[in-house]
Amino acid sequence: MQPIIIVLIILVVLVFIALIKTIQVIPQASAAIVERFGRYTRTLNAGLNIVVPFIDSIRNRIDLREQVVPFPPQPVITQDNLVVNIDTVIYYQVTDARAATYEVASYIQAIEQLTVTTLRNIIGGMDLERTLTSREEINAALRGVLDEATGKWGIRVNRVELKAIEPPTSIQDSMEKQMRADRDKRAAILQAEGVRQSEILRAEGEKQSAILRAEGEAKAAALRAEGEAQAIRTVFESIHAGDPDQKLLSYQYLQMLPKIAEGDANKLWIVPSEIGDALKGLSGAFGNLGGGMPGFNTGNKGNGSNGTVERREEPPVD
């Protein structure tokens, strides 16, 4: 009885193993390559699949999701013979599991080497300045070449990105100095523009101030002249309204004589004839002023004419 039990146990184990090999569960967004006696038979898609045990075998399981592969920095020589290190990132997706398995031994390594060679060809036709400022152009050119080459491998390159472009240290120092000089230049230009604008605004302000000051002075002078004219007119009207007599006028003339005689340098004055008439008018009240004023000699050359008054200097008395 024991040999029969052992055989039954072996059969149960074989049946269990056969069931396990017969039922294949493939996860979502994955695929499996099935070979029968070493030859490709079919591709298993996501879900429950049944294969012939011990005859069919799973060659490879492939993830159909988009993959991201960063590549290490690669030294690339530009057109002006400068070595730059470029980091790249490739976004790809397997579209044909059979081609990705049988058309290329290792599609990851193939994509990496193709990226390096293509990148060197593209950068070799650009100088350093264009390389640093043409990331989009480099990405588009690299993606086009990779997508065309990897299509027969069942790979679709969705996107290529340059993570970093690192020029030599000496070039970086020179670029920093150049950028610093450009910033200093722009700062100096902006400062000069500010000073120029400030001077223009100051000049405009002074011009407007001078114009307003001149207008104010002109208006003030006009108002002052108008006031003086009004004052003269008022005085004139007051005098005529008061109807002054000859004695009052003669007295006003006599009050003006000291002002005419002010100053040591005055030697000769032109005296209006009205003063002589005023002296004659007052001679009856104060005496003969013409003969009683020592040091003065008046002459009248007739009515309506002017006389001269000569100032005589008396010798000093010891």
Q: What pLDDT digit, counting tens, does each position of 247-257 carry?
A: 666 666 666 66
Find, among 77, 85, 92, the residue nearest to 127 by Cα. 77
Taking 70 as the pLDDT cut, the residues of the chain under it are 1, 239-240, 242-318
Give me the half-sphere count of Cα atoms (radius 13 Å) on the Cβ side of residue 184: 6
Angle between helices 246-260 and 273-286 (to 10 degrees): 110
Q: What backbone phi and psi angles, to 5 degrees, belong to 277? A: -65, -35
Alpha-carbon span 56 to 22, nearest angstrom = 9
Instruction: Please report the pLDDT score of residue 289 as a whole number.
Output: 41
HSE-up of residue 287 (Cα within 13 Å, Cβ side)? 4
| Structure token pair of residue 133 | 């400022």
Kindly report whether the global pTM for this prediction surpasses the value 0.85: no
Question: What's the rounded Cα separation, in Å, for the pair 123 and 105?
Answer: 28
Closest CA to 95 of 58, 26, 43: 43
Selection from 83, 80, 153 nearest residue 114 by Cα = 153
Q: 119 near 141, Cβ under 8 Å?
A: no
Query: In the prediction, which pLDDT does 28 show?
Result: 92
Question: Could you give the CA distance from residue 175 to residue 181 in angstroms, rounded to a whole number?
Answer: 10
Rounded (10°) CA dihedral 278, 284, 286, 288: 80
d(CA 138, CA 227): 87
Q: What is the pLDDT of residues 154-176, one digit of tens each?
A: 999 888 888 888 887 777 777 77
C-alpha 163/C-alpha 160 separation (Å) is 10
Evaluate whether 308 touches 299 at the Cβ level (below 8 Å).
yes
How do residues 1-39 score in pLDDT, each as one tens digit?
577 888 778 888 887 887 788 888 889 989 999 998 889
Distance from C-alpha of 7 to C-alpha of 10, rounded to nearest angstrom? 5
Average pLDDT, the chain: 78
Both tokens of 73, joined, read: 């920095």
Cα gap 7→289, rounded to integer Å: 180
